[in-house]
Structure 1
Amino acid sequence: MRILYHLPLSPYCRKVRLALAEKRIPFELRVERVWERRDEFLALNPAGTVPVLVEENGLAIADSYAICEYLDEAYPDISLFGRTLAERAEVRRLVSWFDTKFGEEVTRNLIWERHLKRPLGLGNPDGAAIRAGYANLKPHMEVIGWLAESRPWLAGQQLSLADFAAAAHLSTLDYANDVDWTLNGAARDWYSRIKSRPAFRGLLQDRISGLSPPSHYADLDF
């Protein structure tokens, strides 16, 4: 069976889960506690990070973007990158935006500081970073809302990895009840549409010991 090594609150792992589910590619999830630095896992990915996808033939692919590009090339029937050069360029641009800019300015400041730093014994949460995360969320929601109002999907006419990259970050934050959905109605409506897709069911069923999601997390209509 194909195996995806992951952490439940990693938006990068969630992006890969969404891509696999949308493409209807069966896989098994395995939680990897990367801080334990297991030799067997380091043999798969010397960087010691998740996600890592191990194919049935033993091929191991690390890094969420590398995995998603591999999946689109290896299983092309349902494309998540678009068909034309222009479409693919826009998908790549937005995936980079959400995984880099949104990830650093919002997700890391909230998820890492509020929910992961202290349990891992790496110090107390940084209040300034948390405040910056909440402040940065508003302009990012405005970007998502503008894209959602301008196009059928974030990158254009078709659902793409750009939608899943954005939704992966937002679903992680939403699980921790860190999203103010009143910030932008168009962004909220887009997220409601995408979390209604069958590919999202696995994420909505996630439950993490010691951290319960808000009641609206799995509610398709909020």
Structure 2
Amino acid sequence: MWQLYQFPLCPFSRKVRLLLGEKGVGYDLVRESPWTRRDEFLDMNPAGQTPVMVEPNRSLVLIDSMAICEYLEETVDKAAMINGTATNRAETRRLVAWFDTQFYRDITAPLLQERMEKRIVHRAAPDAKALREAMKAAVGHLDYTDFLLDHRTWLGGATMGLADLAAAAQISVADYLGGIDWKGHEQTARWYRGFKSRPSFRPMLSERMEGIAPPAHYDDVDFDF
């Protein structure tokens, strides 16, 4: 069985977990704290980043969330998440890159730095200015998801795809860390409520990062604001 090296608030691991869940692929979670720079983990991935997916029986090691997702798309027929015409597939990949890069850079990464890494690794207080800037950036990004959902059933088009999984992964971590103000974003909130109710997503709602409690609404599938 696959083993997925991850920690609860890794958005890229969450994206892979959502895809595994949608495709019905079994796996075991292996807790990895990449900031500890464990030698055995660095031997698998010299970049020292999660996720890493391993199939011990085949000595197969997959690194990088997008590489893992592409591998699963190519090897598991169920629930294709990069589908449609060449144009549709290009749009899906564009949006995955948007959430993995821009959303992560502007919102998820600074929230993780200020509210997780500083507490766990450095035993330091968060920078209030950095938190305000991340939350301000989140408003702009959710304006964009609102725009997409005004014109499409799902973020990438008419059917659920990897863009939705990438977005849900990033947004859920930002929401856990208190960085999302849902007021004025009903379209995205409605989409996110639906996503939270999916079997692939629900196990993550009960998971907690040690010493960091999420907002009260975090695990409420029917949250209001």
Same fold, judged at TM 0.5 (above): yes
Report the CA distance between 1:158 and its aligned residue: 1.0
Q: Which residue is equivalent to 1:85?
A: 86
Deviations 1:97-139 (A, max 9, x none): 0110011111112222222224212855333322210111111
Q: Which residue is equivalent to 1:147?
A: 148
Deviations 1:40-74 (A, max 9, x none): 21221111110001124221011111111111111
Q: Which residue is equivalent to 2:33?
A: 33
- The unaligned stretches of length 5 or more in structure 1 are none
Q: Give identity over the alignment, percent.
A: 45
**Shift >4 Å, 4+ stretches:** none
Q: Which residue is equivalent to 1:127?
A: 128
**Map 1:106-185 → 2, pairs under 5 A:** 106-121=107-122, 124-185=125-186
> Is 2:69 the partner of 1:68?
yes
Report the CA distance between 1:39 and its aligned residue: 2.3
**Map 1:184-199 → 2, pairs under 5 A:** 184-199=185-200
Q: Hey, what's the Cα distance between the residues in 2 that align with 1:54 and 1:138?
A: 37
Specify the SS of the correspondent of 2:46. coil
- The unaligned stretches of length 5 or more in structure 2 are none
TM-score (norm. length: structure 2) = 0.93
Q: Hey, what's the Cα distance between the residues in 2 that align with 1:178 and 1:105?
A: 11
8 Å CA contact 1:2, 1:27 repeated in 2:
yes
Aligned Cα root-mean-square deviation (Å): 1.5
Equivalenced residue count is: 222
8 Å CA contact 1:141, 1:183 repeated in 2:
no
8 Å CA contact 2:134, 2:179 repeated in 1:
no
8 Å CA contact 1:44, 1:60 repeated in 2:
yes
Relative to structure 1, the CA distance from residue 57 to residue 83 in structure 2 (aligned partners, 3 Å threshold; closer, same or farther) is: farther
Q: Hey, what's the Cα distance between the residues in 1 that align with 2:76 and 2:172?
A: 25
